Amino acid sequence: MKWKLPFGKRKRKKQEELDASFGKVMEEIQRIDDWDNPKRLQHYILDSCEQIVGRTKVVEKQKAEYRVLTNYLNDIRRLGSLNQKQSKQLKNVAKRLTETGKAREDYANVTHRLHEEQYVLLDANEEFLPGEIRQMQANETYQYKMKRDIRLLEATKSECEIERERNTRFRNLMRKIAIMLLACCASLVLLFMLLQFSLGIDMTLASMLLLLVMVLFVLYLFFRNSQISRENRQAITRLNRTISLLNVARMKYANVTGAINFVQKKYSVRTSYELNYLWDAYMEERRIREKNRQDNEDYRYMYRKLVKFLNSLELFDSDIWIEQTAALMSEDEMQKVKSNLVERRQQLREQIEENTRMIQDERDEVSRLMRDHDYYPPEIVEIISSVDRMCGLNINYHFR
């Protein structure tokens, strides 16, 4: 984690811009041939004063940052001087804060199995969902049974209808055969009579045989007709019973299908397996959210506890250490932070000293020009005095 300060990390860019501006002024000075010209000399002195003021502001900002870095180093020394009990407490709180913060970050990377709308719906029906899952499973089993029964009953109904149709066709066929045989018998009787009366042939035996055949055929027709009638009555009875059962099965199938469709539309699922999957996903999502809620509470608690502990130490800036828990937990990390601050403070000190020297040199150059050219207009003297007071050129800079 990078160390942050309320000031800019680097001032070199501003320093380079000021050096460039000073260089332009020096080039202009070198182009000046007539130093006895008051306008030219006044222009140069005013430019120099402006450069002194600008560079002094930079120095003031650098000194302010220098003091901040010093205060941070004092905070580090204060943290390092804690007794063993305080140090252990600080490390434990910082470690717990880091762990809960990491858990909160991990929650953002969790792959959620449910959309927010699904979670809200399942959460609103959490109390009823287990029962609805069991009921839907039972309904699906019963629906399958009813569907199978309907297929069997429809097959039985078709068999009964086929049997009735077959018996009807057979009865019609028997009627046609009977008519044909009766016609044949009548023809044979006429033939027998013609042979007997015309030719004198005795047709008694033939007539008896024909009569016997006719009697047997009539008996067969009677027996078969009775059998077909009995089978028809049985088929009709079975058909009526099958139709009744089929109507009941269809009604039950419609009812259970309606109950299943209601749950399907309610939760946007197709089967109880999908609803059970949503329930498992909901339980997992609720566990994750509950853990995240607990992590947030733990984080807020540890955050307040760490802030309270740091405030009790009366540090220069307690808030910045909230983002530096790694340094609070590890002496090596704290040493890296300290080394970085010391290095940056040393760089600032060198920059302050360099800018201060350049300010003083530029001020000395102004004084030299005024002495050499005996140039002391009251308004210029007042401006220079104001610059001196503003920039504190008569004050030596000291560093702690």
The structure tokens 């000075």 sit at 29
Beta strands in 6-92 (DSSP E): none
Which is nearest to 112 in space by CA: 267, 280, 275, 281?
A: 281
Phi-psi region of 7 (alpha: psi -120 to 50; beta: other; left: phi over 0): beta
- 123 burial (CB, 10 Å; 0-12 / 13-18 / 19+) is middle
Sequence letter at residue 293: R
CB 315 within 8 A of CB 78: yes
Measure the CA–CA gap between 169 and 164, rounded to whole angstroms: 9
What is 46-66 written as a DSSP string? HHHHHHHHHHHHHHHHHHHHH
Six-digit token string for 260? 């299943």
Q: 């609805």: which residue's tokens?
A: 132
Tens digit of pLDDT per residue, the chain (400 long)?
A: 444 444 344 445 545 554 554 455 455 545 544 445 556 666 666 776 777 777 777 777 888 888 888 888 888 888 887 788 888 888 888 888 888 888 777 776 777 778 888 888 888 888 889 999 999 999 999 999 999 999 998 888 888 888 888 877 777 777 777 777 777 777 777 776 777 677 666 666 776 777 777 778 777 777 777 777 787 788 888 888 888 899 999 999 999 999 999 999 998 899 999 999 999 999 988 888 888 888 888 888 888 888 888 788 877 877 788 777 777 787 788 888 888 888 888 888 888 888 777 777 767 767 776 676 555 556 556 666 666 665 565 533 333 3
Please give the model's pTM, rounded to 2 decimal places: 0.55
> Around Cβ 199, how many Cβ atoms within 10 Å?
8
Say what the pLDDT of residue 5 is: 46
CA distances from 92 to 111, 305, 389, 397 (A): 31, 11, 52, 43
Query: Is 4 in contact with 319 (CB distance < 8 Å)?
Result: no
Residues 285 and 113: beta-carbon distance below 8 Å: yes
Is 342 strand, coil or helix? helix
- Structural domains in the chain, sorted by start: 12-82+313-391 (no CATH), 122-268 (1.10.287)
